[in-house]
Amino acid sequence: MNIVVQKYGGSSVATPEKIKRIAETVIKRKKAGDSMVVVVSAMGKSTDQLIALAKSVSEKPSKRELDALISTGEMVSSSLLSMAIQEMGHDAVSLNAYQIAIRTDGTYGKSIIQSIDDSVIKRHLESGKIVVVAGFQGISESYDLTTLGRGGSDTTAVAIAARLGGVCEIYTDVEGIYSLDPRLYSEAKKLEEISYEEMVELSVLGAKVMHSRSVELAQKYNIPIYVGMSCSDTKGTYIREVKNMENKPITGIAVSDADVAVTLENINFDINLLADIFESIANKKINIDIISQTAPLHGKVNLSFTIPAEDLDECISTVSKFAGQEDIIVDEDITKFSVVGIGMKTTSGVASKIFKIFKENSIQVKMITTSEIKITCAIKREDKSKAVEIIAKEFNL
């Protein structure tokens, strides 16, 4: 049985007409001999609408109830697509996280999948049905609904493909993966392929095409992912192990305005204190990216780090026990600008070239972090467009 797991994003299922087109596409693939599992996101902007609805009745809605509410969007999409397929004369069944036991670690808003019971899916496939799964959702040990974070339907699809030993195809409203967001740079190039490692970095750093955990999962189980435009014959992009890399240091650029920088001033220079600060933040499931620390002066240091803006209030309340309110400084005027490429492992001078270009164009760098395949800078938001254009042109992206 050749199993194909397809995922369709919110823009792809935004209207009844689009849902019908997907039904036709899936049926065509089924007629060609493939066993079809289709994972769907919520229709259009319905998740945002549900969040707004929650906030209309509660300033700070319970994370448990918010997950219970927003997970309904995917169930609407899966039921409608199943109905559309049935209307066209083919057997289909919609399934949610309860029915296929997508077990998660129980963290509301950004759960991690721990296991899936594939027996229900297999039974329906063996009976000839097209299986339509509500993405983005899972259930905790206590049987609460939890969600997987923005883009979590990608992770649902990859996890199911890994469990079933199938191939994974992600369909959205773009033709594939580009070197950078075409809305920021109109001359951005579409990539034929990109490595798992690069795609993970770009996703974490702000590229919104793929959910980072879905790519990590695909890499772990060696599941190639095809990313393309819904209901289109235009060639897309493969995310997979890339053996023959171009002699090119940078593959892509990611930018994000979704972070803020937090600085704790005049804290004691004590490794135990630093460990306690970061452990407390980690316990709140808050992701830290760029970290910098000043040299000790009279036994005191300044500690800075970036976090998602949505976690700012929780972070401030967490670190306030380590620093006085007047010593906690928040900088919201940052864009996280990142260049990523496996080619940087074997190419020297990339960082010096980038910082020279920034210097020549008066782009101030507030914070920096690097790895073997990435350079990330925090810059002023007003410099974002300029930085994207000059680096993209310089490195032919």
Contact in structure between 165 and 122 (CB atoms under 8 Å): no
Helix (H) or strand (E) holding 80: helix 72-87
The strands making up 103-104's β-sheet, listed across from edge to edge, are 113-115, 103-104, 137-139, 145-147
Q: Where do the DSSP E strands lie in 211-331?
A: 225-229, 237-240, 252-256, 259-268, 291-293, 300-308, 328-331
Instruction: Please tell me the distance from the alpha carbon of residue 121 to that of residue 388, in angstroms, as a whole number.
Output: 44
Contact in structure between 248 and 334 (CB atoms under 8 Å): no
User: Checking DSSP bridges between strand 35-40 and strand 3-8, what pairing results, if any?
Assistant: parallel
pLDDT number for residue 225:
96
Instruction: Please tell me the distance from the alpha carbon of residue 83 to that of residue 96, in angstroms, as a whole number.
Output: 15
pLDDT tens track for 252-295: 999 999 999 999 999 999 889 999 999 999 999 898 989 999 99
Which token pair is 314?
Answer: 């929780």
Contact in structure between 238 and 196 (CB atoms under 8 Å): no
Contact in structure between 301 and 263 (CB atoms under 8 Å): no
In this predicted model, which residue has the larger pLDDT, 119 or 211?
Answer: 119
Contact in structure between 189 and 178 (CB atoms under 8 Å): yes
**Residue-wise burial string across 85-110, b where 16 or more C-beta atoms lie within 10 A, e elsewhere:** beeeebebbbbbbeebebbbebbbbb
pLDDT tens track for 299-354: 999 999 999 999 999 999 999 999 888 899 999 999 999 999 998 888 888 999 99
- Confidence band (pLDDT; 50, 70, 90) for 374? very high
Contact in structure between 50 and 72 (CB atoms under 8 Å): yes
Instruction: Please tell me the distance from the alpha carbon of residue 195 to that of residue 193, in angstroms, as a whole number.
Output: 7
pLDDT tens track for 79-137: 999 999 999 999 999 999 999 999 999 999 989 999 999 999 999 999 999 999 999 99
Share above pLDDT 90 across residues of the chain, in percent, rounded to a whole number: 82
User: Checking DSSP bridges between strand 137-139 and strand 130-134, what pairing results, if any?
Assistant: unpaired
pLDDT number for residue 349:
87
Which token pair is 24?
Answer: 């036709």
HSE-up of 159 (CA within 13 Å, CB side)?
A: 29
CA nearest to 8, candidates 129, 214, 173, 225? 173
Contact in structure between 64 and 107 (CB atoms under 8 Å): no
Instruction: Please tell me the distance from the alpha carbon of residue 138 to that of residue 70, in angstroms, as a whole number.
Output: 12
Q: What angle do CA 345, 236, 19 make, to 5 degrees?
A: 135
pLDDT tens track for 18-72: 999 999 999 999 999 999 999 999 999 999 999 999 999 999 999 999 999 999 9
Contact in structure between 191 and 240 (CB atoms under 8 Å): no
Which token pair is 193?
Answer: 């392929």
- Taking the chain, what is the end-to-end CA distance rounded to the nearest angstrom? 40
Instruction: Please tell me the distance from the alpha carbon of residue 352 to that of residue 390, in angstroms, as a whole number.
Output: 15
pLDDT tens track for 216-250: 999 999 999 999 998 888 899 999 988 765 568 89
Scan for tokens 């009279």, then name that residue: 298
pLDDT number for residue 245:
58
HSE-up of 65 (CA within 13 Å, CB side)?
A: 8
